[in-house]
Copies of this chain bind each other. A is one copy, B any other.
Amino acid sequence: MTFTDKELEKRKHLVKTTYKLVADYGFSNITLQDVAEKAGVSKGSILYYFENKDELFVTLLERMVNNIERQIRVNVSRSNTPQEKLQAFINSTFVGIKENRDFYKVYLDFLSQSNHNDGLKKFNVYWYEQCVLVFGQIAKEGIEKGVFRNVAPEAAAIVARSVVDGLCIRWLFDEPDRFEFYKETALQVMTCYLSK
C-alpha cells in the first residue's frame, strides 16, 4: 500500500483522466476501457495501479475532497476579518466556470453514490466534518467580534455548505455564464443569514 514516486505519478494521471470522464459521462457510464484509452495506457495497467474500478473512484473522490478542503483552508487562512473569510470561503467554492462545472458534476455523482455505498459515505462524513470545523471557526470569530449575529457556529457551517452546494448544483442546470450571479447570490444569502 505504499507507492514509489513514479507509481504515485501514474496514479495521479489516471485519477485526473477519470475525473474528466466522470464529469462528462458519469461514473457508472464509463468503462475502464474508456479510461485506458483517454489516459493512453492499457486496460490492464489501470488494474495494476488500482485494486479495481471502485478503488479508482474512491481514490478520485478522496483526492477531490482533500484538494477542495485544503484550498478552502489556505484561502481562508490568508484572510483577516470574518467578512473577508466568508468571502474567501465562497471564492474557494466558486472558482471558475469550467472548474466548477466539472467539479460539481463529479460531486453530484459522489453524493448520489454515497447514499448506497458505505465506503464513500465515510469520505462524505469526513468532508462535512471538515466543513463544520473550518466554517464553524469563521462563524465563531465573526460572532465574537460582533460582526455576525449570534448563531450556533455548527448551524452556520451547515447553512454555508448547503447554500453553496445548493446554488452550485442549481447552476449546473442554468446557463454557464450566470456563474457570477450564483456566486454573488451565495455571498448575499450568507451575509443576510449572518447579519445582525
Task: Give the distance to chain B from A54, nearest Cβ to Cβ, in Å.
Answer: 12
| Contact between chains at A173 and B116 (CB < 8 Å) | no
Task: Give the distance to chain B from A43, nearest Cβ to Cβ, in Å.
Answer: 12
The residues of B that contact A173 with a CB separation of less than 8 Å are 114, 121, 124-125, 128
- A141: interface (CB < 8 Å): no
User: How many residues of A are in contact with the other chain, CB < 8 A?
Assistant: 42
The residues of B that contact A161 with a CB separation of less than 8 Å are 166, 170
Question: How many copies are assembled?
Answer: 4
Task: Give the distance to chain B from A105, nearest Cβ to Cβ, in Å.
Answer: 5
- A64: interface (CB < 8 Å): no
The residues of B that contact A26 with a CB separation of less than 8 Å are 112-113, 115-116
- The 3 A-B pairs of least Cβ separation, nearest first, read A166-B166, A162-B166, A28-B28
